[in-house]
Amino acid sequence: MAEEKIPEPIKRRGLMLVLSSPSGAGKTTISRKLLEREADLMLSVSITTRPKRPKERDGVDYRFIGQADFDRMVQGDELLEHATVFGNAYGTPRASVSQALDQGRDVLFDIDWQGTQQLTEKARDDLVSVFVLPPSTAELERRLRARAQDPEDVVRARMAKAADEMSHWAEYDYVIVNTDIETSVAEAQKVLHAERLKRPRQVGLRDFVEVLRAGS
């Protein structure tokens, strides 16, 4: 009997999974749980000029930098996208993302609609975008207040901005209404798992099928 040839795992190209939502819709919790459950998924840690909140860790949640350093990175073309949100500058460093994609790892982005538009222009084939909506305005406000990390005027400004941000839902590939966090995480995982199977992302398929055919 011929010796069975066990094929290598099929090589794939990583994808860029973008999550956007108005603040308070639950996107950060969904991101955290996705990262815990998906070993092949890594977070793109953004840079920002916003002051650090008490529970945040530099280099983990964001890299907190000054405006001069931010401008230097923009000028050096070190960012994949960047935008101003609530008066602070945010941006996605380029280097770690392209390396991860080439190694077949997926990258999660917690960025706003402006950044998503820029990534759509630059990397449509690698991009999978998901918009997270709150179940109601009252619930959105309740979550923003429960978070209690921001002063009152910031909460009010974020509520006012939410309607604006939500107008961009139709620019996204998928929409999740976050009524229940566990259901939403499971839905995001379904999106990720299905998108990984897209034929163009499975770059090792040609070799795999050749081995299959040679064995028959």
What would the DSSP string read from start to end of 158-182?
HHHHHHHHHTTGGGSSEEEE-SSHH
Q: Tell the smallest beta-carbon distance from residue 73 to ligand 5GP (Å).
A: 11
Give the H or E element holding residue 114. helix 113-123
Going by C-alpha positions, the residue among 158, 181, 177 that lies closest to residue 169 is 177
Q: Cα–Cα–Cα angle for 94, 99, 102, nearest 5°? A: 125
Q: Provide, rounded to whole angstroms, the least separation between the CB of residue 9 and ligand 5GP.
A: 32
In the bound complex, what is the minimum distance in angstroms from residue 112's beta carbon to ligand 5GP? 4
Cross-strand pairs, 47:
63, 91
Site size toward ligand 5GP (CB under 6 A) is 14
Residues 43-62 that bind ligand 5GP (CB under 6 A): 46, 50
How many DSSP H helices and E strands does the chain contain? 8, 9
Choices 78-86, 99-107, 172-180, 186-194; region in contact with ligand 5GP by CB under 6 A: 78-86
| Mask for 8-47, x = binds ligand 5GP (CB under 6 A) | ---------------x----------------------x-
Per CB under 6 A, which of residues 110..139 are in contact with ligand 5GP? 110-112, 114-115
**Among residues 83 and 188, whose Cβ is nearest to ligand 5GP?**
83
Should residue 81 be labelled a site residue for ligand 5GP when binding is judged by CB under 6 A? Answer: yes
Instruction: Give the three-state DSSP class for 62.
Output: strand
For 182, counting Cβ atoms within 10 Å of its Cβ (0-12 exposed, 13-18 middle, 19+ buried), the class is exposed
CA 161 to CA 81: how far, in whole Å? 21
Chain residue at closest Cβ approach to ligand 5GP:
115
Interface region with ligand 5GP, contact rule CB under 6 A, candidates 68-76, 109-117, 126-134, 174-182: 109-117
d(CA 42, CA 30): 14
The contact set with ligand 5GP (CB under 6 A) reads 23, 46, 50, 81, 83, 85, 90-92, 110-112, 114-115
